[in-house]
Structure 1
Amino acid sequence: MNHVLNGLAANPALPPESVDRLIEVADADLAGRLAGREDLTRAQAVALITRVDDCGVPLAYGGRLTAADVDPVRQPRAALALLDQGRGAPEWARLFAVDPEVRIREKLAACPGLPPDVTERLAADPDVGVVVELALWTQEPGVAAPLAAHPHTEVRRAVAANEVTPPAVLAALLLGEGLPRAERCPVCDRRDGPGAPEPDGPWPPDRDAPPGASCDGSHASASHDVRWAALANPATPAEAAAGFAGHPGHRLRRALAAHPGLPVRAARRLAADPEPGVRADLARNPTVDETSMRRLAEDEDVDVRRSLALNPRVPLDVLARLAGAARIASTLLPRIASASPEEVGLLAASPDAAVRMLVAQRRDLPAAVRDTLAADPDAKVVKSVAPHPGLSEERLRAMVDRHGVHVVTPAALNPDASAALLETLARHEPPVRKALREIARHPRACAAALLVCLTDRRARPLAAAHPALPPHVVTELLCDPDESVAEAAAANPSLPATVMRSLIP
């Protein structure tokens, strides 16, 4: 792999004639980088796929190719990518439906808008993996519904996971009613395959049996998986799902706990579930009733309380109690993001610094609230609000002066930080290494700040890619012993065009 050429292939300032030259010498790695260029012309895309077939997939998904540019026989994966976007030719689908390579048929089965005759053929494919892909990805209820009666449980599980499957069919898969008995499951396939163990013998290490897999003819493990997929499907009728609130399988109860429209009686039973994972999944469910949420707020498990804090409908007073107890990371919580202006004002005026820190994570605060939080006596609050747009340089400097290393990195994240401030932060004593990485990414960073960033091992490749770095420094970095730095320098648009041309063989 030539790291300098790979970097050059991503350089937005690379002249068109140099792009053409790189295409002429491209290997698979280089072609992959070139395929991602935003300025790639259709002619260049065609030249690239002609040289390296494998880059046809990203080119197709990137909108660089049309059906007229692709030969489905020579470039089947690019053709499948176009079919997946609805931009391929219908005759390609018929060609791939009889392809001897299973992976080709599997990929075709996942494509939308297939002709009815192709769908019919794929539904009867002798390889169960092809039928599974069709069952999982079809967007037509009339295709999914009949496959619920397929003899293999893996197909039934795929139907159970597909949200276009009719609710009545999902209920039948969940309850095991109204469908013919399944004949095969993954355990059967492994038992009966070449080199299979004796029926009562141990599984060989190379046969990849799932933990707890079993089959005595009833396909018990696989049937459990079908039910799990149905419970995890939001289209499954909630009333049918609710009966599993007391099921002995905690995996099924976890899937149920996340189901939208969960009946109140089921939610309250799950709120007392002995398994913390079940209660945590329930706590994240935005459709859970308020009584259950308040019970979960008192849960002894910190993960349950943290999950409840992430619920977009958690009552604000409950969230305020959770702020200090749930070990919530520095993140904008959904309920805080949707808070009304009046609620924002109340949160910002809270006597609890943990609550003020939560609202300080918003990036659309009224100027008065933003500035008040910037002057907060608690460093955690100031750290949270420091990246907020609109803060003046004077305020940012005052925040750093008051709280030192705690605020240097957040201040470096502020989109309005000036070049002068970023240079000051880069030279801060004691040094803040994480801040150097953020400064190296900042669009306003100046050359002086970037030169400091080059002294840090992790910030060095980021600084090497920054367009404000002087061209002679960028050129020198092409020979850096760290290949990631050399590649970043080659991708820097400040690299002189004459140097770019000289790098291409």
Structure 2
Amino acid sequence: MNHVLCGLAANAALPFELVERLISVADADIAEDLATRADLSHGQAVALAARVGESAVRLAYEGRLTAADIDPVAQPQAALALLDEGAGAPAWARLFAADPEVERREKLAACPGLPLAVREMLAADRDVRVVAELALWTSADTAVRLARHPHAEVRRALAANEATPPDVLARLITGEGLPPAQRCLVCDVEQTPFVHDSECPRLDCDLRSGASCAGLHESTVLETAGLALQNPATPVEAVVRFADHPSVLLRLHLAARTDLPPQVGARLAGDPVPGVRADLAGNPAIDDALIRTLAADRDPDVRRSLAHNPRVPLDVLSRLAGTVKLGPTLLPRIATASPAEVEELARSSNPAVRMLLAERRDLPDEIRDALAADRDARVVKSIAPHPGLCERQLRGMVERHGVQVVAKVAANLGAPPALLEDLAQLLPPVRKALREIARHSNATGPALLACLADQRARPIAAGHPALPPPVIVDLLADDDWQVVEAAAANPSLPPAVMARLVPEPSGA
């Protein structure tokens, strides 16, 4: 791989004529970067697809090619990409529905807006993978027909399709009103009873881990129920039966349902598996009484999940902040706190609560400033990136709390160039801060030069347009390929250097 040319292919400042020259010498790696250029013209896209055939798929998904540019026989993958985007020629769908390559028929089956005649062809396909893929994406009318398909894998796919009608989803779970499935992927290839070894050594084995069949397609039936439980279109009355199911995975899926009845939630709150209770705790459908019950749960993961519940009362959240580590994250309930609640949180005697509030980026000036002067470094660290803080405040944070807050101060979008230079020169260096400075729009040449000394900040700094051009040129020979690509993609790379780096096409 030529990392210099790959970087140039992504360089937004690469002149039009050099883009053309680069297309004429492109390989697959270079074409991958060229295909995503915002300034790539239609003519250049056509030329790139002709030069590197596999790039046509990416160009099709990027909207650079039209049906008129693609020969479905010579470029089937690109044609399928256009069909997937709803931009292919209608006749292509019938063509691929009869394609001898199963992978192409399977790809077609996932495309939106297929004509009824094509859906019927795919529904009758001899390969169950094609039918299952159709079932996963098809419309309600076709889903109704496929629910009676004799293969359990097709029914499993239908259970995940949100277009499958609710009554059909209920029947897929219960089996009522449907003929029993006759086959599954396991009994298609193995003599039953059979349980697939999770450490299966066979390289040609496609069975899922834990797949089993003793005649009733057990693992596929269980997976079908799990997918239906995760499908919001499945009626809740059809899934409540799983509250006491021996499968932990099914109980996990049930606990996360946002239409969970209170009585089922109460049963799951006593589940012996903490993960089930944790999923329940994060469910916005649970009521206040259940929230307060779960707040006293003995497992910290349950209480942590409850803190992320958007409906948790602030008094409960305040207690949780003192019992579990929540870290610097903007919790949903904090994000939606009213102005009066924000004031209440700001006055909390618990620094963990003030830290959670400080993660908001829309605080009133007076509350922002009070948190910026907080005596607790955790609070200051959280408020440091807040917009509107002046240089004096940012420097004051560093003076009071030192390395604990330097990286977050450097991440403040309003941090002035002089401050960034000073932070970059700290000894010993604060490596997280160097990475923030390396990507900061206000970073200067001197600050970026300091960032180059850090292994993880170096590739970021190499792509910063404020880096001095001679330094960018030197980095093109760096030992780290990520640095080389970043330097080649740097828009401040001199055009004359770009021109020297792009080879002339053979025969020019």
Place the TM-score, normalised by the shorter chain, in its bin.
over 0.9
CA distance in structure 2 between the aligned counterparts of 1:503 and 1:471, rounded to whole angstroms: 15
- 2:71 corresponds in structure 1 to 71
Indicate conservation of the 8 Å contact 2:67/2:79, yes or no: yes
| Superposition deviation, residue 251 in structure 1 | 1.2
Alignment of 1:124-135 (within 5 A): 124-135=124-135
- 1:104 corresponds in structure 2 to 104
| Superposition deviation, residue 205 in structure 1 | 2.3
Moved more, 183-192 or 425-434: 183-192
CA distance in structure 1 between the aligned counterparts of 2:338 and 2:16, rounded to whole angstroms: 51
Indicate conservation of the 8 Å contact 1:306/1:328, yes or no: yes
Indicate conservation of the 8 Å contact 2:196/2:210, yes or no: no
Moved more, 299-308 or 350-359: 299-308
| Superposition deviation, residue 212 in structure 1 | 4.0
Give the 3-state SS of the residue equivalent to 1:87 in structure 2: coil
- 1:54 corresponds in structure 2 to 54
CA distance in structure 2 between the aligned counterparts of 1:456 and 1:200, rounded to whole angstroms: 54
Give the 3-state SS of the residue equivalent to 1:325 in structure 2: coil
Within the candidate set 376, 384, 387, 1:386 is matched to 384
Are residues 402 and 469 of structure 1, via their aligned partners in 2, closer, same or farther at CA, if it must alter by over 3 Å?
A: same
| Superposition deviation, residue 209 in structure 1 | 4.7
| Superposition deviation, residue 59 in structure 1 | 1.2
CA distance in structure 2 between the aligned counterparts of 1:211 and 1:158, rounded to whole angstroms: 17
CA distance in structure 2 between the aligned counterparts of 1:58 and 1:446, rounded to whole angstroms: 36
- 2:87 corresponds in structure 1 to 87
| Superposition deviation, residue 429 in structure 1 | 2.7
State whether structure 2 residue 501 is matched by structure 1 residue 500.
Answer: no
- 2:322 corresponds in structure 1 to 324
| Percentage of pairs with the same residue | 64
1:37-62, Cα deviation, whole Å (9 max, x unpaired):
11101111111111112112221121
CA distance in structure 1 between the aligned counterparts of 2:112 and 2:501, rounded to whole angstroms: 44
* Structure 2 length-normalised TM: 0.96
1:339-360, Cα deviation, whole Å (9 max, x unpaired):
1111111111111000000010
Alignment of 1:366-405 (within 5 A): 366-405=364-403
CA distance in structure 2 between the aligned counterparts of 1:75 and 1:213, rounded to whole angstroms: 37
1:265-302, Cα deviation, whole Å (9 max, x unpaired):
10010011001111111112111122222111111111
Moved more, 290-299 or 267-276: 290-299
Indicate conservation of the 8 Å contact 1:244/1:256, yes or no: yes
1:76-111, Cα deviation, whole Å (9 max, x unpaired):
111111111211111011111111111111111111
CA distance in structure 1 between the aligned counterparts of 2:40 and 2:323, rounded to whole angstroms: 52
Indicate conservation of the 8 Å contact 2:281/2:302, yes or no: yes
AA aligned to 1:185 is C
CA distance in structure 2 between the aligned counterparts of 1:359 and 1:229, rounded to whole angstroms: 37
- 2:182 corresponds in structure 1 to 183
| Superposition deviation, residue 174 in structure 1 | 1.3
AA aligned to 1:86 is G
- 1:268 corresponds in structure 2 to 266
Q: How many residues align?
A: 499
- 1:352 corresponds in structure 2 to 350
CA distance in structure 2 between the aligned counterparts of 1:50 and 1:86, rounded to whole angstroms: 22
Moved more, 300-309 or 14-23: 300-309
Give the 3-state SS of the residue equivalent to 1:181 in structure 2: coil
Indicate conservation of the 8 Å contact 1:239/1:263, yes or no: no
AA aligned to 1:343 is E
CA distance in structure 1 between the aligned counterparts of 2:335 and 2:41, rounded to whole angstroms: 41
| Superposition deviation, residue 213 in structure 1 | 3.1
CA distance in structure 1 between the aligned counterparts of 2:445 and 2:153, rounded to whole angstroms: 58
| Superposition deviation, residue 149 in structure 1 | 1.3
AA aligned to 1:60 is A
Are residues 350 and 201 of structure 1, via their aligned partners in 2, closer, same or farther at CA, if it must alter by over 3 Å?
A: closer
CA distance in structure 2 between the aligned counterparts of 1:202 and 1:254, rounded to whole angstroms: 24
CA distance in structure 2 between the aligned counterparts of 1:401 and 1:102, rounded to whole angstroms: 66
State whether structure 2 residue 284 is matched by structure 1 residue 295.
Answer: no
- 1:143 corresponds in structure 2 to 142
Indicate conservation of the 8 Å contact 1:258/1:281, yes or no: yes
Indicate conservation of the 8 Å contact 2:195/2:211, yes or no: no
Indicate conservation of the 8 Å contact 1:171/1:240, yes or no: yes
Are residues 408 and 201 of structure 1, via their aligned partners in 2, closer, same or farther at CA, if it must alter by over 3 Å?
A: closer
- 1:205 corresponds in structure 2 to 201
Give the 3-state SS of the residue equivalent to 2:99 in structure 1: coil
AA aligned to 2:303 is R
CA distance in structure 1 between the aligned counterparts of 2:239 and 2:129, rounded to whole angstroms: 27
Give the 3-state SS of the residue equivalent to 1:189 in structure 2: helix
- 1:424 corresponds in structure 2 to 422
Are residues 399 and 121 of structure 1, via their aligned partners in 2, closer, same or farther at CA, if it must alter by over 3 Å?
A: same
CA distance in structure 1 between the aligned counterparts of 2:60 and 2:225, rounded to whole angstroms: 37
CA distance in structure 2 between the aligned counterparts of 1:371 and 1:348, rounded to whole angstroms: 11
1:399-457, Cα deviation, whole Å (9 max, x unpaired):
11100001100001100011111101111233101110110000110001001001111
AA aligned to 2:391 is E
- 1:195 corresponds in structure 2 to none
Indicate conservation of the 8 Å contact 2:195/2:210, yes or no: no
Indicate conservation of the 8 Å contact 1:267/1:289, yes or no: no
Where does structure 2 lack aligned partners over 5 or more consecutive residues? Answer: 504-508
Within the candidate set 208, 213, 216, 2:214 is matched to 216
Indicate conservation of the 8 Å contact 1:238/1:260, yes or no: no
CA distance in structure 1 between the aligned counterparts of 2:149 and 2:441, rounded to whole angstroms: 56
CA distance in structure 1 between the aligned counterparts of 2:118 and 2:300, rounded to whole angstroms: 51
| Superposition deviation, residue 24 in structure 1 | 0.4
AA aligned to 1:311 is N
Moved more, 58-67 or 104-113: 58-67
Alignment of 1:268-287 (within 5 A): 268-287=266-285
- 1:14 corresponds in structure 2 to 14
- 2:506 corresponds in structure 1 to none
Indicate conservation of the 8 Å contact 1:145/1:159, yes or no: no
* Structure 1 length-normalised TM: 0.96
AA aligned to 1:147 is L
- 2:437 corresponds in structure 1 to 439
AA aligned to 1:81 is A
CA distance in structure 2 between the aligned counterparts of 1:327 and 1:321, rounded to whole angstroms: 12
Moved more, 404-413 or 201-210: 201-210
1:2-23, Cα deviation, whole Å (9 max, x unpaired):
0111001111100000000110
Alignment of 1:471-482 (within 5 A): 471-482=469-480
